[in-house]
Amino acid sequence: MKGLTTALLGRACRIFLERAYPQGPDAIPPPKNSFFFLDAAVPLESVLVPPVCQPLRGRDGGLRGYALRLGSAVHPHCKLQIVEQDEVGCIFSVDTHDRFPIDPSHSDAVRWRELQTANRQLKEEIEHAWEEAGLLTFNALLRRELTRKE
């Protein structure tokens, strides 16, 4: 992927994990915890492997990015996603992996909505922190495009 290095991925993972596991690195379950202290000297290809990392494929079957199953203290299915955009390089996003509807009469409906709200807040917090650290997000790219068109 154009522009993706182990150092850049390490910064993105650290920001994600610091917010997703506010109790600190000891709260991050293995093997996810190895992404908290990624060594920039380690080859990128050796980091982007299962079980934490999965490739994201485009419609043509080609590689378009990666999803890292880093989870959070309250939802183990949150993912850090990196996709490649030809003109700009890597774009980072959080996939909360919780967008399935639940019947409002289901006994867990209230708790599910609470989890979705917490996940949405975590996503916003992580993506804002990435932007502050100079990492590109979809929202930052959209703002850039809107500013360019004005």
Task: Report how far residue 18's alpha carbon sits from residue 11's, in angstroms, rounded to the nearest whole number.
Answer: 11
In a domain, 61, yes or no: yes
In a domain, 141, yes or no: yes
The pLDDT-based confidence of 142 (bands split at 50, 70, 90) is confident
Q: From 22, 108, 25, 32, select the one nearest 73 (Cα to Cα).
A: 22
In a domain, 11, yes or no: yes
Task: Report how far residue 145's alpha carbon sits from residue 150's, in angstroms, rounded to the nearest whole number.
Answer: 9
In a domain, 1, yes or no: no
In a domain, 22, yes or no: yes
Residue 84 phi, psi (nearest 5): -95, 130
For residues 70 and 81, the answer to whether their CB atoms sit within 8 Å is: no
In a domain, 100, yes or no: yes
Residue 75 CB-half CA count within 13 A: 24
Instruction: Give me the pLDDT at residue 31, please.
Output: 96
In a domain, 23, yes or no: yes
pLDDT tens digits along 21-62: 999 999 999 999 999 999 999 999 999 999 999 999 999 999
Domain that includes residue 100, residue range = 6-149
The pLDDT-based confidence of 149 (bands split at 50, 70, 90) is low
pLDDT tens digits along 72-84: 999 999 999 999 9
> What is the number of structural domains in the chain?
1
Terminal-to-terminal C-alpha distance of the chain: 31
Q: Which amino acid is residue 78, in one-letter code?
A: C
In a domain, 78, yes or no: yes
Instruction: Give me the pLDDT at residue 150, please.
Output: 59
To the nearest whole percent, how much of the chain has pLDDT over 70? 99
